[in-house]
Amino acid sequence: MKSRSYPFIAYFFLLPILQMIVFNQFGLGSQLVPHVTLLFLIFYPTDSDQTLYLLVAFLYGLYLDILHSTMGLQAAACVTVAFFRPFIITSVFGKNYGYVNIRLQQTSLLALSAYCLNIVLIHHLVYYVFGVSSWTQWLQIIQQFIFGSLYTLLFLIAIMFLLQKNKQ
């Protein structure tokens, strides 16, 4: 096991706990909660095996489902994000995703924001569409998707901005 794997193992377990203890308190209503746990999927090493990343994303989503009682919604959303991440990286950064490592110090906040926006939109689309019990609530799905995505994106950008400033 590489030494650079240790922080990601810690993030795997600590981010969901931080989500429950800290970030769930920032929720606006019962459905509008910032999903800062996406930071794990965003910063997972891009040069790792894609199959392993899909498996880790599934286990991470399952862990989130157990903690938040979301019945597989997080697992489905996390695996979908993991599947589309190489395409997102290629479209945002314009390079082969295997050679791009996303680091706070070396990546502009604008590029990180565009990358995060795509990740959040995919995650929230799957999360809210599969989470609805009836298609008669389509307006509620769209509303939760839009506002939830914006709320999560604001938190992610704020966290990355603070971390980027601390690293400099």
**pLDDT attached to residue 56:** 95
pLDDT in tens, the chain (168 residues): 566 677 888 888 998 998 888 877 777 766 788 899 999 999 898 888 899 999 999 999 999 999 988 899 999 999 999 999 999 988 888 765 555 677 766 778 888 899 999 999 999 999 988 888 777 888 888 988 999 999 999 999 998 888 877 665
**pLDDT attached to residue 155:** 92
Decide if 61 contacts 74 (C-beta within 8 A).
Answer: yes
**pLDDT attached to residue 23:** 79
Decide if 144 contacts 32 (C-beta within 8 A).
Answer: yes
**pLDDT attached to residue 62:** 97
Q: Where do the domains of the chain lie?
A: 5-167
pTM of the model: 0.88
Q: Helix or strand or coil: residue 32?
A: strand
- Architecture of the CATH domain 5-167: Orthogonal Bundle (1.10)
**pLDDT attached to residue 33:** 84
Q: Helix or strand or coil: residue 131?
A: helix
CA distances for 3 relative to 45, 49, 72, 163, angstroms: 13, 17, 31, 21
CA 120 – CA 149 distance, rounded (Å) = 6
CA distances for 124 relative to 5, 15, 97, 104, 168, angstroms: 27, 18, 23, 23, 32
